[in-house]
Structure 1
Amino acid sequence: MKKIELFEKEYNFLNKEQKEAVDKIYGQIMVVAGPGTGKTQIIGLRTANIILKTGVNPENILITTFTDAGVIAIRKRLTKFLGHEAYKVGVSTIHSFSQDVIKTFPEKFIEQKTGTAIDTVDALEILKKILDDLIEKKEIQELTSDYDKYYYLRTIESKISVLKNEGTSPETFKIAIDKQQIDYEEELSQIKPTLKKYETTKQKQEKHIKKLEELRKIFIEYKKYLNDRELYDFNDMINFVLEKFKEDEELKNYYAEKYQFIMIDEFQDTNNAQNQIIDLILSVNQENPNIMVVGDDDQSIYRFQGANIENMLSFSSKYPETDIVVLEKNYRSNQHILDLASNLISNNNERLTNKISSINKKLISSGPLKEKNNNVLFFRAITEIEEQAFILEEIKKLISSGEELNEIAIIVRNNREVDTWGKLLLQNGIEIESKHKTNILNSNYVKFILNLLKIIDCPFCEEEKIINIFRNSINQINNVDIFKINRELYKINYSKKHKIKFIEYLNEIETKKESFSEEHNLIDLEKILDLKNKIIDYRGKIAEIGLKDFLGFMIKDLKIIEFVEKNGDFDDVQDIYTLFNKIKEFIENNKYLNIEKLLEKIDLFEKYNLSIPRQILKENKSGVQVLTAHSSKGLEYNSVFVPGLYSGNWEGKKVRDLLKLPIYISGSALQSGEFEQIEEDRRLFFVAVTRARKNLFLSYPSSSGAKILLQSVFIEEINDSFKELEQRFDENSFEKIVENDIKNNLIKNGDLELEYIEDFLETYRLSASDLNVFLENPMKFLEKVVYKYPFEDNKNTIFGKVYHRTLELFYLKYKKEGTIPEKSYLTATFKYLIEKEVLNPEEFENLTEKGIKGLEGYYDLYSKTSEIPLDLEYSFRRKNIFFENIPITGIIDKIEKTTQKSQVSDSEQFGQFSLFRENVKLIDYKTGRSKSIGEIKGIDKSGNKKEGIGEGNYFRQLLFYKLLCEMDYETNSKYEVCALAIDFVEGRDGNYKYVEVDFSDEDFSNFKQLIKDSWEKISNMDYWREVLEKAKEE
């Protein structure tokens, strides 16, 4: 069939609105194309129509889109109508277009041609250097912190990226700051100067302006640094072309003449810098530029990348003669799905329908599914497991009915959920295709390699990592041997000031290996010593053959790939492959890169939550699709599941902006207020539900563990658009449906390791700190408490220990002499104790200065009001104390008299003898940042318990100490614990906070139940078997 005949055939299938868009060749046109309305077909046919009707060459047409996938889709459609001529049409992302400009005119971009591209981590490293310099010059005060010099580093990098996306130079940034200042002055003039609000508003405004000015200073230095060293980042490619177009009329005119017709796809997702490039090309033909933009304001979901919904809202203002075509007919979904989507998105205010009265975006099902019955289902699960059971059951039904796996999709809010659902399906024998770009830094095999490199770089630096290296299953070393060696080292180090390192101890053992092995009944000592010697020798090997070649040598020498292929899966091989390619890339960009700098670079990826995506060597396109809503854009499936529809997941997340840019830079769409955020979240949910053709399944769990979950507000907005399913599972049945066969895929732990844990627990006593470690992470409890990694102080633990000891000696002197000691005694004691610690000169100087300053402030504040304590550092370690057959122990920093009465009911176990007990307060010292009562108790402002690592740790410690006093006959016979307090003794920010911590009968009862529940697990070997198996799986 001839091209013109094919064009006419396809053209005749178009509806009225689609034909209108294709027929409009000259001038400006904005096509509002909702989901499933055929925008790619329109772009393809309009391109063919332009060539047929005008005789223009294909190379005179430019089409830009947002993603590489979009480029491929458009190119395929063009090929259908134009054949090989389609490849002459300029189809690219705006970034690729900029690269083409630079390649075409290298003489105009000499610096860029010889420059080196940098990634986000490189940018962060550069910004750190700039911050160091500016802080030293005292030119930065607001964008830093006394406790973390680089607290704002990630924010600075992000804001500079936004400025570049918006095509903002330091000069235009200064204009925006000045305008912001004028706005602030106007705002302040509306407040009476006598009101307190006036001063607080003024201070807030001044602080914000200072931050913006400092950001501008850093921006200038960053641009200068890159320019001086011929470096550029991702955003610079577009800005190089933008700046050149502004100053070089010849270049701009060339592209204006070349591209006589321009089309922009996914217009709602473009940013200001990208639009400026197109505007400059069009400005040459000011009278009547030929441009078509295609987009959907309801699908603008890339605000975090600088996308601005204002693009669509302002296009018709920029070009008053614009023809607006709205595509209402949807050829993808049934009407029930479209009605749900329309009901949902109508809750947004920032929509074209609310700005331009003539626009109606009500979608009408017009494809083969328009008559299909309502199959939009909602399931309100009791628990997460029940939600999983529901989705698994429905997927199995679809498969049984003959549905292709790749026509089924689970669309979720974040990457973490992609992993969760992907694993669940695989465990239940359902093949998947995950669109999630897995971060290889989460791979245990990659972690092993990187930790091994850290140990090679410094064999005596990180004891915990060293022991984990030896314990790793890759080395196939008996773990109990490691524990036994570790236990002996712990005994040796317990009372030593200069601790022996693990590697040093292995060197000692090597001189007597036969006798040591026999004495301790070791199985794999030879393997242990062989690995130790390799680690020591590897550093010399790097110097001999270089870092890049060494990596390959090490992998081969340790047979890592052989082990992974046997015990892992293909993804694990891909992760290692990706790591090596990434390191190779690092080395190619910096031939002087050594192992230390390499590891520093990797640390920045982890510190700032940056990923190194897995390089996919193979894909399974025939599996159930598991992907995020962002990744689902432009895709469609017969059946779509959208789980996890609870508040705080799909909407309601708080987005804290440490530094807001002026409205003149970022526009309303880039502000992070709650109103704008929920509209962005709603658009994202809209994208997810409109991927479905036939079936849409929505669900949410009412609880997650002990946490109650509230359904998303979006469910309320569409509650007339779905059928809610009845509960179908009872407590016993739904767990059976989730066929969790993880255990079948694991390397089983031997009984020797469990026996080691069991032996340890025979003489173990639970402490408050150990309880908190267990609650945070049971595996950490094994490592820190059971396996007892060699004790290794860092400067923070040294500081806290010396500070506590100083206060103990100070109050002991007070108690002994009856008068408060002089301030000089306090500071002299600290100096004496800190000099005993092993610190480098810089650490010693910093800690001494911080300690003296803190103690002097503490003395000035409390010396005249301090009471003589009843007891100091009261230890229960010498006693055998039990709470309901649970052995417990601990040390209380200070016990004082109090006039307060008991906050909980008396145990009455001492009868009238209790009348002779002293009412006391238990006080725990804390160095570091002071905390509010809410932070101490782990509750929010509404009194609700907060979830998360470390929440409520301090409160549990205090209640633990109260329990110890009650269970100990000696303390309970003389003391009645009536009050608890945390004394923040360091005085950071000059704040020596003393927090009285109230507690109730219910608090204490719940805490005691928590101890019983925790001990039931700690003392259960089946529980530890599961923990170990899970750790090996991860």
Structure 2
Amino acid sequence: LDKTDADPSTILALTFTDSAAKNMRDRLAQLIGPTAYYVNISTFHSFCADVIRRYPEYFPIARNSEPLTALERFEIIEQLIQKTKLSSIKPLNMPLYYLKEILSSISDLKREGINPDQFEKIIDQDAAQIEQNQDDYKKAQLAQMKKNIGKQRELLQLYRLYQQELRTRQRYDFDDMIMLVVEAFQEHELLLRLHQEQLHYFLVDEYQDTNSAQNKVVDLLASYWGDKANICVVGDPHQAIFRFQGASIENMLGFVDRYQEATVINLAQGYRCTQKIYDSAHTLIGNNKLSQVDSQADSAKNKLLKLLNQPLKSAVDELRPTADIPDNPIKVYSAPTQTMESIFVAKQIKELLDSGTEPDEIAVLYRYNSDSIEIAEALTKWGVRYEIEGGDDILQREFTNQLLNFFQILLDLRNTQEDQLVYQVLHYPWFKLDSLKVMKLGRVAGKLKLSLLEVIDRGYSSIKKAELQAVLSEDEFAEIKKFTDQLYHWSSLDHQLLFTHWFERVLKEAEIFEWLQAQPNYAQLLSELNSLYRQVKSMVASDRQFKLINFLQAIEVMREHKLQITVEDLNIKKGAVSLATVHKAKGQEWRHVFIIQCVDGKWGNRRPRNILPLPEGILEHTQISDKELNEDERRAFYVALTRAKDSVTVCYPETIVNDNHTDEKSASQFLYQLGDQIQIAEDEQLLNQADELLQKMIEPPVTVQPSLDQRQFFELILKDFKLSVTALNT
């Protein structure tokens, strides 16, 4: 913009997440002012969605069509499996055994820009190569490779049928969004030329994680200029944790191959970590083979890899006073048990907070979502506020399950199938029924050997007849009867209203919102409810006849297939310690980072369950077989390590209890690949007070005030809120 007086609208900047796109625009606005708002900055999916929306005539989907939900994708594939003749991926006793793997594989193929015809060619090439070189393989290995080819051919069959079904419905899935634009650009020259005339300069952020379909979008847009294209990509292959099959250097090698006159700029300084953390991270990642230099070759690839293998120099050490730089930024702590590990981390965090560190400068990172359970419990017991990054599954939350139980009762009322669930629902706090009165009714029902609703339906006269007035008075009975009449009313409303309207009305009349407002964790509960409502709206949008029975059936399918409804991430960072998986922590930073459960088998030497492998031929520039076993896990650990500005504490338990069985664990090999920068942490006081500390873990938790009040909550929601002038007028 400064040097060539270029039109800002001719620049296209692409990144991965909405928050990254917003940050890019905000920073650009600080640099160049209002002109930043004329630069096209978006995610890949947003850009492609805009192309589809503006030029619908080029795409075989219905107008205003929405991407399939995860549930709809499962249902379509399930139907296709059931009616298609298959053998390799449809076991007789468990026909849906491969369902999740089939969906995942189709997503991977689409992300790599592989349509069914291209997939068929890759399978044929792999099969021919296996046949040609079969003498090079061991007998069992050859049999397994041929078996995989058979699975891939059946996967191809389902892939074709799935795409045909989407076209019949005039729908698309999330991964189709980019593939549809790629195919439209390839098939319709006018559409491509329109965009090439408008867009002349291209920037791609986090390039190490872009997939082949995304690369094709950019390459097609830049193709008019060939090698002279104005295209800049930025990325770090060491941080490629989202790329298909961990192909960390695939994108960079592909780029220098396609744009052979490209200038490679090495960013040699880091502005986050201290030098000791960078040195340890460099020592760790040096064990990966895909990024090692071939000393015999003098190629563009080797020049790129040489730059990649240079250690980072910390600019932080130069900019900060020496006294502010920690002497031992990386500490390793070995705990006797997983519970003691969580207690150690909770105590360390409490000490940091007591010394004046802000909670949002601290993070606990882990490998899987399930790893957060025990540390979250320990932080609660030590009175430490925390926020789980990226949203938890609301189907695992108590409030959501209570709400779903309430809806189930409303459905069961029609079939007289109510059971113990009624007694449970009547105790839910938002209904404000006296628990003692409900218990009295339960006692009467027990004596009469009837269900609760049968007692209520028969009226108070049946209680008088059984001479049980002393157990439950007529006034007490009338109060509960009034409420159950309301249950029948809400149940019947389902037939009269659009399901979204029914959902809203029942929540309002049941006074659930009033109860929520009185709760100390109001913001969390409201976010949870809003996430469930978002799912309801999505379901109704695809089927206007959608009703309560359909909703509960859909929830049951989601639970069966372990599909999640994630809590909407409001990016609430203020006043709370962050708990996050490494993948959710990507792109973020904290002063102090704790990496937990660093045991062998979880961080390294993990045995992936790959029962439906895809051909290696999908990747053009990476020989997956050359990878060292733990390359993907090592890069994840590298990302975790380099989130820290000041200090990293790596912890692991020596024993873990699983299903009442104690397993002894070894430390992850990555701890031994950090070089000589680490310090062994000790906590004698922790061990001496073990009994007292363990007792604290089973005592009632300290009441922790929410990390933000209602005003802050709504300020965060409204921060990026947009309202059109038309909406204001109406």
TM-score normalised over the length of structure 1: 0.60
Please name the residue that 2:582 is paired with.
629
8 Å contact kept, 1:176–1:662 = yes
8 Å contact kept, 1:647–1:712 = yes
For residues 351 and 515 of structure 1, the distance between their equivalents in structure 2, rounded to whole angstroms, comes to 84
Please name the residue that 1:716 is paired with.
672
Q: 1:176 to 1:334 in 2, by over 3 A?
A: same
- C-alpha deviation, 1:629, in angstroms: 1.5
Please name the residue that 1:87 is paired with.
37
- C-alpha deviation, 1:166, in angstroms: 1.3
- C-alpha deviation, 1:234, in angstroms: 0.9
Please name the residue that 1:934 is paired with.
none
8 Å contact kept, 1:389–1:735 = no
| 1:397 is the counterpart of 2:351 | yes
For residues 422 and 121 of structure 2, the distance between their equivalents in structure 1, rounded to whole angstroms, comes to 54
- Unpaired runs of 5+ residues, structure 1, are 1-50, 192-196, 493-499, 747-1034
For residues 708 and 485 of structure 1, the distance between their equivalents in structure 2, rounded to whole angstroms, comes to 52
- CA deviation vs aligned residue, 1:927-980 (integer Å, no higher than 9, x gap): xxxxxxxxxxxxxxxxxxxxxxxxxxxxxxxxxxxxxxxxxxxxxxxxxxxxxx
| 1:609 is the counterpart of 2:558 | no
Farther-moved stretch of structure 1 (288-297 vs 180-189) = 180-189
8 Å contact kept, 1:369–1:693 = no
Please name the residue that 2:58 is paired with.
108
Residue type matched to 1:607 in 2?
E
RMSD of aligned alpha carbons? 3.3
Q: 1:674 to 1:526 in 2, by over 3 A?
A: farther
Please name the residue that 2:182 is paired with.
242
Residue type matched to 1:69 in 2?
S
8 Å contact kept, 2:11–2:39 = yes
Secondary structure (helix, strand or coil) at the match of 2:25 reads helix
For residues 576 and 637 of structure 1, the distance between their equivalents in structure 2, rounded to whole angstroms, comes to 30
Residue type matched to 1:699 in 2?
C
Please name the residue that 2:152 is paired with.
212
For residues 676 and 517 of structure 1, the distance between their equivalents in structure 2, rounded to whole angstroms, comes to 78
- C-alpha deviation, 1:341, in angstroms: 0.8
Please name the residue that 1:406 is paired with.
360
Q: 1:335 to 1:160 in 2, by over 3 A?
A: same
State how 1:704-783 maps to structure 2 within 5 Å. 704-705=656-657, 706-718=662-674, 720-731=676-687, 733-734=689-690, 736=692, 740=697, 743=700
Please name the residue that 2:653 is paired with.
701
State how 1:177-188 maps to structure 2 within 5 Å. 177-188=123-134
For residues 621 and 362 of structure 1, the distance between their equivalents in structure 2, rounded to whole angstroms, comes to 34
For residues 267 and 402 of structure 2, the distance between their equivalents in structure 1, rounded to whole angstroms, comes to 54
The partner residue of 2:492 within 520, 526, 540 is: 540
For residues 292 and 202 of structure 2, the distance between their equivalents in structure 1, rounded to whole angstroms, comes to 23
The partner residue of 1:117 within 24, 44, 67 is: 67
Q: 1:617 to 1:428 in 2, by over 3 A?
A: same
- C-alpha deviation, 1:297, in angstroms: 0.6
Residue type matched to 1:610 in 2?
L
Farther-moved stretch of structure 1 (225-234 vs 729-738) = 729-738
- C-alpha deviation, 1:244, in angstroms: 0.8
Residue type matched to 1:133 in 2?
K
State how 1:128-527 maps to structure 2 within 5 Å. 128-134=78-84, 139-190=85-136, 198=139, 204-303=144-243, 309-351=249-291, 353=293, 356=302, 358-359=306-307, 360-367=309-316, 368-369=319-320, 371=322, 372=325, 373-459=327-413, 460-461=416-417, 463=419, 465-470=421-426, 472=428, 474=430, 476=433, 477-478=435-436, 481=440, 484=443, 507=457, 512-516=462-466, 518=468, 521=471
For residues 316 and 674 of structure 1, the distance between their equivalents in structure 2, rounded to whole angstroms, comes to 21
- C-alpha deviation, 1:267, in angstroms: 0.7
The partner residue of 1:650 within 603, 613, 620 is: 603
Q: 1:456 to 1:249 in 2, by over 3 A?
A: same
- C-alpha deviation, 1:318, in angstroms: 2.7
The partner residue of 2:537 within 559, 581, 584 is: 584
- C-alpha deviation, 1:241, in angstroms: 0.8
For residues 673 and 401 of structure 2, the distance between their equivalents in structure 1, rounded to whole angstroms, comes to 45
- C-alpha deviation, 1:635, in angstroms: 1.8
8 Å contact kept, 1:436–1:627 = yes
Please name the residue that 1:25 is paired with.
none
Residue type matched to 2:425 in 1?
I
Q: 1:733 to 1:642 in 2, by over 3 A?
A: same
For residues 427 and 629 of structure 2, the distance between their equivalents in structure 1, rounded to whole angstroms, comes to 46
For residues 655 and 485 of structure 1, the distance between their equivalents in structure 2, rounded to whole angstroms, comes to 55
Please name the residue that 2:297 is paired with.
none
- C-alpha deviation, 1:605, in angstroms: 2.3
- C-alpha deviation, 1:426, in angstroms: 4.0
Q: 1:379 to 1:207 in 2, by over 3 A?
A: closer
Secondary structure (helix, strand or coil) at the match of 2:264 reads strand
For residues 730 and 108 of structure 1, the distance between their equivalents in structure 2, rounded to whole angstroms, comes to 66
- C-alpha deviation, 1:509, in angstroms: 8.2
Please name the residue that 1:994 is paired with.
none
Please name the residue that 1:550 is paired with.
502
For residues 574 and 464 of structure 1, the distance between their equivalents in structure 2, rounded to whole angstroms, comes to 29
- C-alpha deviation, 1:307, in angstroms: 7.2
- CA deviation vs aligned residue, 1:395-418 (integer Å, no higher than 9, x gap): 233334332322222222222334
Q: 1:731 to 1:506 in 2, by over 3 A?
A: farther
For residues 726 and 702 of structure 1, the distance between their equivalents in structure 2, rounded to whole angstroms, comes to 14
Secondary structure (helix, strand or coil) at the match of 1:237 reads helix
For residues 478 and 458 of structure 2, the distance between their equivalents in structure 1, rounded to whole angstroms, comes to 14
- C-alpha deviation, 1:588, in angstroms: 2.8
For residues 263 and 458 of structure 2, the distance between their equivalents in structure 1, rounded to whole angstroms, comes to 84
- CA deviation vs aligned residue, 1:295-326 (integer Å, no higher than 9, x gap): 11100011369976411233222333333222
Secondary structure (helix, strand or coil) at the match of 1:320 reads coil
For residues 266 and 583 of structure 1, the distance between their equivalents in structure 2, rounded to whole angstroms, comes to 33
- C-alpha deviation, 1:613, in angstroms: 2.2
Q: 1:370 to 1:674 in 2, by over 3 A?
A: farther
Farther-moved stretch of structure 1 (182-191 vs 587-596) = 182-191
Secondary structure (helix, strand or coil) at the match of 1:291 reads strand
Residue type matched to 2:356 in 1?
G
Residue type matched to 2:154 in 1?
E
8 Å contact kept, 1:114–1:230 = no
Q: 1:642 to 1:507 in 2, by over 3 A?
A: same
| 1:75 is the counterpart of 2:25 | yes
- C-alpha deviation, 1:532, in angstroms: 5.0
Please name the residue that 1:976 is paired with.
none
Q: 1:392 to 1:114 in 2, by over 3 A?
A: closer
Residue type matched to 2:586 in 1?
K
- C-alpha deviation, 1:515, in angstroms: 4.6
8 Å contact kept, 2:134–2:142 = yes
8 Å contact kept, 1:385–1:735 = no
Q: 1:462 to 1:338 in 2, by over 3 A?
A: farther
Q: 1:744 to 1:678 in 2, by over 3 A?
A: closer
For residues 593 and 392 of structure 1, the distance between their equivalents in structure 2, rounded to whole angstroms, comes to 46
- C-alpha deviation, 1:390, in angstroms: 2.7
- CA deviation vs aligned residue, 1:105-150 (integer Å, no higher than 9, x gap): 344347354433221111111222222332xxxx223322333332
- Unpaired runs of 5+ residues, structure 2, are 295-300, 704-730
8 Å contact kept, 1:334–1:369 = no
8 Å contact kept, 1:166–1:665 = yes
For residues 620 and 442 of structure 2, the distance between their equivalents in structure 1, rounded to whole angstroms, comes to 59
Secondary structure (helix, strand or coil) at the match of 1:683 reads helix
TM-score normalised over the length of structure 2: 0.84
For residues 66 and 589 of structure 1, the distance between their equivalents in structure 2, rounded to whole angstroms, comes to 27
For residues 467 and 256 of structure 2, the distance between their equivalents in structure 1, rounded to whole angstroms, comes to 83
